[in-house]
Amino acid sequence: MGYKNKKYQKDLTQQINDRLTTMLHAGEGTSKKEAIADGTDREKIFSYSTYESYFKHCKYFSRYVRENHPEVTNLKQAKKYVNEWLQTRVDQTDKNGKHLSAWTITLEREALGKLYGIKPDDKDFFPAPQRHRADIVRSRGDAVRDRHFSEKNNDEFVKFCKGTGCRRNIMEKLEGRDLTSRADIDREIASLEAKTRTEAEEKHLNVLKDAVNQFPDQDYFLHHRKDKGGRERYSPIIGDNKQQIVVRMKATAPDEKVWQHVPGNADIHGYRGEYATSIYKMYARPIEEIPYDRTNQGTGKKFQSGVYTCRKDESGKKLDKEAMMKASKALGHNRLEVVANNYIRGL
């Protein structure tokens, strides 16, 4: 008979890993939207990248508890120190006296909220810090890593990124088969509409229609088979270097990677910003030509419901909501404030 060591107990990090792993439901067919509708979203994590990010920051929390409250041995006991740890993160500074960003604190709050099932609006939960566009430093200005990346020596790669807006993980796994023409999409739509469809085929049909409806004037797309959150989508290939991008895709075998090496120091997030800005400029209407189509019930004055008014550091700047939504869709997002705060630049 085997001997079981009854004194053995998993440490906090192992307990966190077990808890988050049981919540991981990536690639299982249930969408986040459906989970929100049936109330199960608080118990689920829908992508591997989110799981890895949450696990990383929850490990920071476990290390803090281990070092400052060594008597704590399980997650239930550690829960009461969640707010305490988040406050230390707010107070923390680096050697230059710089604090962690509000985005980092908010991410850590979300990670622990998911770990413990704490609702974001729980009055006893550590309040989320205010996030301001002016504080965003990612891909603005020169970073240390930029000094180790030559855009001249990686000219084709940079042009590819700016013309497709791919995330880094997509660039790393993009294959030749992921190029799709408008004619291919039209044929596939016709084929699916002519038959009785399964639930999966119905979803795929809606994705195809969304692409051609959002970008009716575009002739080549990248097929994102499993983008952020496991979502399928199509994004247009744009810009002066479109033909070069298409040629490279066509020259790559269907099951081979388009890029065998993705430079680690390339500012891919910055290139996504340039892509989003280009999409916006392609479709933006002059603000003065957007109709005053709604009436304020309080003042009786007409206003432009199709105009997005920026706030905070860009207060007063006005953008075309329709063009913003196209840029957001092309990036794989669905919220205007995300593209306004993080991607559209220099307008």
Give the DSSP per-residue string, 246-283.
Answer: HHHHHTS-TTSBS-S---TT--HHHHHHHHHHHHHHHH
- Most confident range (mean pLDDT) of 34-38, 93-97, 99-103, 154-158 is 154-158
Which one, of 205, 203, 179, lies nearest residue 192 by Cα?
205
Residue 148 pLDDT: 60
Residue 123 tokens, joined: 């009055």
**What pLDDT, in 10s, does the model give residues 96-130?**
778 788 888 889 999 999 999 998 888 889 887 76
Residue 77 pLDDT: 93
Residue 29 pLDDT: 60
Residue 28 pLDDT: 63
Residue 136 pLDDT: 47
Find out whether 303 and 296 touch, Cβ atoms under 8 Å. yes
Residues near 90 by beta carbon (within 8 Å), at least 6 away in sequence: 99, 100, 105, 129
Query: Cα separation of 203 and 224, whole Å?
Result: 14
> For residue 138, what pLDDT band results from cuts at 50, 70 and 90?
very low
Residue 144 tokens, joined: 């240390």
Backbone angles phi, psi at 307, to 5 degrees: -110, 130
Residue 284 pLDDT: 94
- The least confident of 30-34, 43-47, 134-138, 334-338 is 134-138
**What pLDDT, in 10s, does the model give residues 299-345?**
889 989 999 988 766 667 899 999 999 999 999 988 888 888 777 87
Mean per-residue pLDDT, 238-265? 93
pTM value > 0.85: no
Query: Cα separation of 177 and 258, whole Å?
Result: 10
**What pLDDT, in 10s, does the model give residues 262-311?**
998 899 989 999 999 999 999 999 999 999 988 988 888 998 999 998 87
Which one, of 128, 122, 121, 51, lies nearest residue 87 by Cα?
128
DSSP run (H or E) holding 181: strand 179-181
Residue 121 pLDDT: 86
Report the helix count and the strand count for the chain, using DSSP H and E. Answer: 14, 7
Find out whether 272 and 343 touch, Cβ atoms under 8 Å. yes
Sign (positive or negative) of CA dihedral 297, 300, 306, 312: negative
- Please determine, for residue 88, whether its predicted confidence score (pLDDT) is greater than 70: yes
